[in-house]
Chains A and B, each alone.
Chain A
Amino acid sequence: MSGDKVRLNTEWLCDCGGCHVALVDLHEKILNVLEKVEIQKCPVLTDEKGYPEADIGILTGSVRTEHDRHAAMEMRRKCRTIIAFGTCAVYGGLHGAGLAHSREEIMDHVYRHSPTTRTDFIPGNSISGLEKMVTPIDEVIDVDLYLPGCPPHPHFIFEGLSALVEKRSPRVGQESVCAGCRRTMVRTEVDTLREPNEGVPDNATCFLSQGYICQGSVTLDRCLAPCPNHGMPCSGCAGPTMQVLTEPTRDIRTEISERMSRLTKIPYETIRTHLEKSAKTQYAYAMATKMIGNKPTFLIRKWIAEGEAQP
């Protein structure tokens, strides 16, 4: 391969592997990328076990095991620019919800008391040890760029990678998922919250207007809004908007409650309490990051305890 290509390493830590699939989702555009990029290490493409020197390093997944920590540090040592790629790398991701439980509870549930297996011992030396916490990678190594999304839509991957290769600033939007949703937000007389499986929502009207919880307005658009445009409320997989991350008084539950209570007849307090009771779901993708976890108003353990105390 020619020497003037940009050298790329990718590595996955604790994640589902979907972010690497998203790279392939560039479809024909991947050919444009490959003209300028040489992929040296990529767990789904190459058999490279070491960490060669590279210009760009893409890290997906969060740090959950001893191996993850080692891999993240090796990547930082060998790559000039590190991109935290995907929600797990940036915010800890879905398994960040594991922080609502202790390591012992999780190991016990998965290996000792799993209802679908007969074995009941905790594996010893055959797997990498589980760390106490789920850690977004920027708490372990320095990160140069962040691309959240679960996974990020190829539109944003292509823009980000081409900008890096061409050494220009990427065009980034800070709109929420609502900006890409085709539903209309209208005032309604709806006075009760509805569960996602209750009734069939109208396809032209905003979920919030109809009494369904949707995280579109508090979620950064790195997906082009596929879920709300296809009948499913947003679950917040790309992580919170910039204002939720940076403003101490802004929060996922208060922002949804404020907007929804203005659109419907459901009181603010009712919505906020509902979101607190279902906090493990509402904050699942981002609770591992200190940007959310360190907010003085984020009291997830209290909310879970309250939720479990009530029948």
Chain B
Amino acid sequence: MLEMTINDKACRGCRLCLDICPTECFSFDQQTAKAQVAVAENCIACLSCAFLCPSGAIGHRNHHEVKNFYRNIEFSQRMGRFL
């Protein structure tokens, strides 16, 4: 089952994820001023939120990864070697 997490410490409260999510998976906690995952079941793994999040705070697991056909494979492989 697909899991979606938000790193609370990294969330800046911009609500961009609420804006972009096509299936309304997120809610906003007014008290902490941070986004929360409300209905992870709705997630279609489009990853729009992860790409738009300024902090890189949103993580997805167990989702279907689209084949890496249009990226530069050589550079993508280097990313695994970053300390």
Contact = CB atoms under 8 A, between A and B. Distances in A.
Nearest to A289: B75
Contacts of A250: 51
A248 B83 CA distance: 23
B54 A147 contact: no
A250 B15 CA distance: 20
B3 interface: no
A225 B12 CA distance: 13
Given A183-B12, A186-B13, A259-B54, A145 B72 contact: no
A250 B71 CA distance: 11
A144 B81 CA distance: 7
A149 to B, nearest CB: 9
B55 A176 contact: yes
B16 A262 contact: yes
A48 B65 CA distance: 49
A105 B76 CA distance: 35
Interface in B65-83: 70-72, 75-76, 78-79, 81-83
Contact of B54 (A159, A163, A217): A217
Chain B interface size band reads 20 to 34
Contact of B55 (A83, A156, A179): A179
A265 to B, nearest CB: 15
A156 B83 contact: yes
A94 interface: no
A178 B10 contact: yes
A172 B56 contact: no
Contacts of B75: 245-246, 290-291
Nearest to A148: B82
Contacts of B16: 185, 259, 262-263
Given A217-B54, A242-B82, 12 more contacts: A138-B78, A144-B81, A146-B83, A179-B7, A179-B57, A180-B10, A183-B12, A185-B16, A185-B54, A247-B51, A248-B71, A290-B75
Interface of B: 7, 9-10, 12-16, 19, 33, 51-52, 54-57, 70-72, 75-76, 78-79, 81-83
Interface of A: 83, 138, 143-148, 156, 159-160, 163, 170, 172, 174-176, 178-181, 183-187, 206, 208, 216-217, 241-243, 245-248, 250, 258-259, 262-263, 290-291, 294
7 contacts: A144-B81, A145-B83, A146-B81, A175-B56, A178-B10, A183-B12, A208-B54
